[in-house]
Amino acid sequence: MKIGIHSFASLEQPENNSADHRHQTIRNLLDRIHLSDEYGLDFYGIGEHHRREYLDSAAHNILSAASSITKNIILKSSVAVLSAADPVRLFQNYATLDLLSKGRVQMVVGRASFRESFPLFGLSFDDYNELFEEKLDLLLKIRDNTAVTWSGKFRPSLSGQEVHPRPYQQKIPIWIGVGGTPQSVVRAAKLGLPLMIAIIGGETHRFRPLCDLYRQTWIDSGFKEEDIQIGVHSLGFVGTDGDKARESFFHGYKKSFTKIGLERGWGPVTRQSYDFLVSETGALVVGDPSEVVEKIKAHSNSLGGITQFAFQMSVAELAHQQLSDSIKLIGSKDRLIEEINKANDLAKYQWAAELSDIGLFNFPNDKEIKKLYSLSLENLSLAEKNPIARNYYLSEAYELSEKISPSLKYTVSAEQVKNIPLGTFFEAMGPRLDPVKARNKFIRVGFNITDSDEKFGIVIRNQVAEISNFYKNDYDVIVSVDSKTWKGIILRTESAAGAIASGKLKIDGESLMFLQFSSLFVND
């Protein structure tokens, strides 16, 4: 796992916007990037905002200055607001930076969570998604070709023009930064681009369905599973004393996010809500080195294995010395990075085992389980990489098989339900509920079947699926889908990702909850 920092170049004292203070803030930031390089962090990213309290509107300039005082660390945008940028100029800026740094550049591009850039550059936020899709298409063409022929809606066409300079690397790595939209995850996977998920609130494990959606779409798109890269961007801070670190982070975090909440309609930050976020399952990664190690390990495991983790510390108004000390603690190889790397190796094997889609609990015999899992891991090119991790999960699988009641085993085959009437199909979904994945789940999903007048409701209560021919208005999610598409999703002949992307399946409610729900049913 790669470990690094993302920064917004925040004013250390937002109320002080003097020229000298802005200058010192930038100088301190450069000092911290240099320190991160010295302490072996893998990357340092600068975001893009157009607000009074942040100094990162021209991130490539900051990174260019950093390139002259660093040797090894990756320098990257995090994120560049591609929707509001000219892809030609954006590429030229980072290609130049790549030459200055001798090939140490990556780009994370996204649609933006803040809106200031759109009116600033004469763009409409109504074109939010369309702008990004078009400009991403152009950026990738420029990355892959010196001479570019291209046409679109929002920018003048190119007809064989060459874009220079070309970078030091053959291709600058381009990541897609997302906040939680399934369509964005699907887009990244179909293009074979790495994924950086911003998890800044709630519980990290709730993003697992998005990660699984990305992995499955990636594989369905013909890319190799061993090439999957998923990074997480989370607010975090490391101190020598965990309680003091959480206290130090709280005050600036409360101030920043209460202000943002007023702009976006959120409630103010309370101590109770903050304590939840720094708890075991919460998104914030704040504490002493050992606590932070365990938290990142838990995040990685809950998401099925991640390849990068980025600390975002610049929203809590911490002093330069506090941020510097945190970087030193993060860069302590024996305390943090190496431990997280070990945990991530295990998480990769865990995901491989889950992805294999073996009817594990139909095989209570230890020998059979090991045989099937060995074959699965071999097929995924993982069998020889870490035998210790492999054996760990084989043993875990055997233990689980002993605990599952025979009455909960999968009893309805895909072939049996393939052509049966829709009502019977929904009834047959009950026995196909995965008892392990459904443990402690409570999810209510209603279905409008678009090619008939039928409606169905499915309520999952801790390993039991209650099926009805109606649903209530208070259900968590309402799905509109035709019968053929829904059968295909459950039988795994059609992906939920593809159905969402094509518009054949529409969701009213929480998308993440629906993706979690659809993953609870098994296919033989």
The neighbour count for residue 107, using CB atoms within 10 Å, is: 26
pTM metric for this prediction? 0.69
Lowest mean pLDDT among 49-53, 159-163, 283-287: 49-53
Q: What pLDDT band is residue 337 in, cutting at 50, 70 and 90?
A: low
Residue 241 has pLDDT above 90, yes or no: yes
Per-residue pLDDT reduced to its tens digit, 71-86: 999 999 999 999 999 9
Contact 409, 443 (CB under 8 A): no
Per-residue pLDDT reduced to its tens digit, 421-452: 777 677 767 666 776 677 778 899 999 999 88
Residue 306 has pLDDT above 80, yes or no: yes
b vs e for 264-298, b when ≥16 Cβ sit within 10 Å of the residue's Cβ?
eeeeebeeeebebbbeeebbbbbbbbebbbebbbb
Q: How many CA atoms lie within 13 A of 6 on its CB side?
A: 28
Lowest mean pLDDT among 137-146, 160-169, 211-220, 265-274: 265-274
- State mean pLDDT over 86-114: 95
Q: How far apart are CA 91 and CA 146, in angstroms?
A: 11
Contact 235, 313 (CB under 8 A): yes
Q: What pLDDT band is residue 343 in, cutting at 50, 70 and 90?
A: low
Q: What pLDDT band is residue 410 in, cutting at 50, 70 and 90?
A: very low
Positions of E strands within 170-209:
174-178, 195-198
Helix (H), strand (E), coil (C) string for 285-321: EEECHHHHHHHHHHHHHHCCCCCEEEEECCCCCCCHH
Number of helical (H) and strand (E) elements in the chain, helices listed first: 19, 16
Residue 387 has pLDDT above 50, yes or no: no
Contact 150, 134 (CB under 8 A): no
Q: What pLDDT band is residue 340 in, cutting at 50, 70 and 90?
A: low
State which amino acid sits at residue 117.
Answer: S
Q: What percent of the chain has pLDDT over 70?
A: 80
Q: How far apart are CA 193 and CA 204, in angstroms?
A: 22
The neighbour count for residue 224, using CB atoms within 10 Å, is: 11
Contact 292, 299 (CB under 8 A): no
- Model pLDDT, residue 356: 41
Residue 411 has pLDDT above 60, yes or no: no
Q: How far apart are CA 236 and CA 323, in angstroms?
A: 11
Mean residue pLDDT across the chain: 82
Q: How far apart are CA 75 and CA 346, in angstroms?
A: 28
- Model pLDDT, residue 470: 85
Contact 324, 35 (CB under 8 A): yes
Q: How far apart are CA 424 and CA 427, in angstroms?
A: 5
Rg (CA), the chain: 24
Q: Which residues pair with 461 in a beta bridge?
A: 442, 464
Residue 347 has pLDDT above 90, yes or no: no
Tokens at 337, concatenated: 């990075």
In this structure, the strands spanning 505-509 and 477-481 are antiparallel
Domains of the chain listed by start with CATH number: 1-172 (3.20.20.30), 225-354 (3.20.20.30), 356-403 (no CATH), 414-518 (3.30.1050.10)
- Type and span of the H or E element at 458: strand 455-461
- State mean pLDDT over 138-143: 97
- State mean pLDDT over 143-152: 97
Contact 89, 58 (CB under 8 A): no
- Model pLDDT, residue 183: 84
- State mean pLDDT over 485-492: 77
Look at 35 and 475; give whichever has higher pLDDT. Answer: 35
- Model pLDDT, residue 382: 35
Q: How far apart are CA 253 and CA 61, in angstroms?
A: 27
Contact 457, 476 (CB under 8 A): no
Phi, psi at 244, each rounded to 5°: -65, -35
Instruction: Single out the residue of 272, 276, 284 nearest to residue 313, CA to CA.
Output: 284
Residue 280 has pLDDT above 70, yes or no: yes
